[in-house]
Amino acid sequence: MTSTGEIRFSHASPEATRGTAPVPNSNLPTVSASRLRVAETFVSRQGEGKLTGQQSFFVRTSGCNLRCWFCDTPYASWKPEGPHQTVAAIADEIAAAGVQHVVLTGGEPMLPESVGELCQILSDRGHHITIETAGTIDRDWPCDLMSISPKLAASSPEPREHPRWASLHQERRMPIPVMRNLISRARDVQVKFVVDSPDEFDEILAVVDELSKPDPNSPTQSLLASDDIWIMPQGITEAALDQAATWLRPWSDQQGFRYCDRMQIRWYGNKRGT
């Protein structure tokens, strides 16, 4: 990534065997000297989606190829912070924490190639890996749950204030073929839409339609089932989540989608490191 957050695309090395998920083994040697900018690491409970409640080690990479106006972690996107650490050191920190589930998030964790190396090490050690991504970069990395949060048009930064980022955001935010590749390779997947207004309903349905179309290799099967789709309110306070639920949950139920609360906000408030 360049210093302005623009990305140069390059492809990761071929994926190696994906491990099952026994107890993590901290005795295995680590091999990677590659570096990764990390905004924060912490142990918390997964607050969103199908693994809600699961104790997890979070690695929040710093740097993003989008700039959503509502981003709740601007210290990993708008103003990326944090030291560059080696992949080996991060893997060792995770092993020392003794937590099996690892959530790789950001920022955009699929941006740095070194995250692929981290995935490989974690997979070899038997960790369960969730990747929280906006789904704009095609990577074939070991991952147990691919958690894609496609960015809708209204998530754009304000164009007069941020003309360049507004245009990059629009260009990058919804590469349907990339998302379909991520979905078709995934062991398990959830697609989480952040919704700020009912005006976004039609756009969500159109994207779900595009993402669900059967793969040509198995033409009778949708790529996504309706219970892979999660509808999550935009909001960083309990009051905002409660208010949004009044109009969002009924629509989500009516469509046969799953409603996604943001339990970390209820458990801890909108605090860093939670």
Ligand X SMILES: C[S@@+](CC[C@H](N)C(=O)[O-])C[C@H]1O[C@@H](n2cnc3c(N)ncnc32)[C@H](O)[C@@H]1O
Residue 123 binds to ligand 2KA (criterion: CB under 6 A):
no
Residues 6+ apart with CB under 8 A from 80: 5, 37, 39, 62, 63, 64, 107
- Shortest gap between Cβ of 105 and ligand 2KA (angstroms)? 3
**According to CB under 6 A, which residues from 51 to 110 bind ligand 2KA?**
105
Residue 48 binds to ligand 2KA (criterion: CB under 6 A):
yes
The structure tokens listed for 37 are 């900018």
Q: Would you call the peptide bond into 107 cis, given omega within 30 degrees of 0 as the criterion?
A: yes
Backbone angles phi, psi at 63, to 5 degrees: 120, 135
67 binds, among ligand 2KA, ligand SF4, ligand X, none (CB under 5 to 8 A by kind): ligand SF4
- Shortest gap between Cβ of 149 and ligand 2KA (angstroms)? 8
Residue 236 binds to ligand X (criterion: CB under 6 A):
yes
The structure tokens listed for 189 are 């997947």
* Choice from 45, 162, 185, 249 touching ligand 2KA (CB under 6 A): 45
* Choice from 124, 132, 144, 228 touching ligand 2KA (CB under 6 A): 132
Distance CA 74, CA 95 (A): 28
Indicate the residue type of 141: W
Residue 5 binds to ligand 2KA (criterion: CB under 6 A):
no
- Shortest gap between Cβ of 215 and ligand SF4 (angstroms)? 26
Say if residues 234 and 194 touch (Cβ distance below 8 Å).
yes
Torsion sign across C-alpha atoms 185, 155, 170, 74 = negative
The structure tokens listed for 92 are 């060792």
Say if residues 169 and 68 touch (Cβ distance below 8 Å).
yes
The window from 22-30, 39-47, 203-211, 214-222 that contacts ligand 2KA (CB under 6 A) reads 39-47
Q: Would you call the peptide bond into 19 cis, given omega within 30 degrees of 0 as the criterion?
A: no
**According to CB under 6 A, which residues from 173 to 232 bind ligand X?**
192, 194, 232
* Choice from 64, 152, 182, 208 touching ligand X (CB under 6 A): 64
* Choice from 235, 248, 257, 261 touching ligand X (CB under 6 A): 235
Dihedral, 185, 274, 44, 188 alpha carbons, nearest 10 = -10
Backbone angles phi, psi at 29, to 5 degrees: -70, 150
**According to CB under 6 A, which residues from 143 to 162 bind ligand X?**
149
44 binds, among ligand 2KA, ligand SF4, ligand X, none (CB under 5 to 8 A by kind): ligand 2KA
Residues within the interface to ligand X (CB under 6 A): 64, 70-73, 105-106, 108, 132-134, 149, 192, 194, 232, 234-236
Residues within the interface to ligand 2KA (CB under 6 A): 44-48, 105, 132, 264, 274
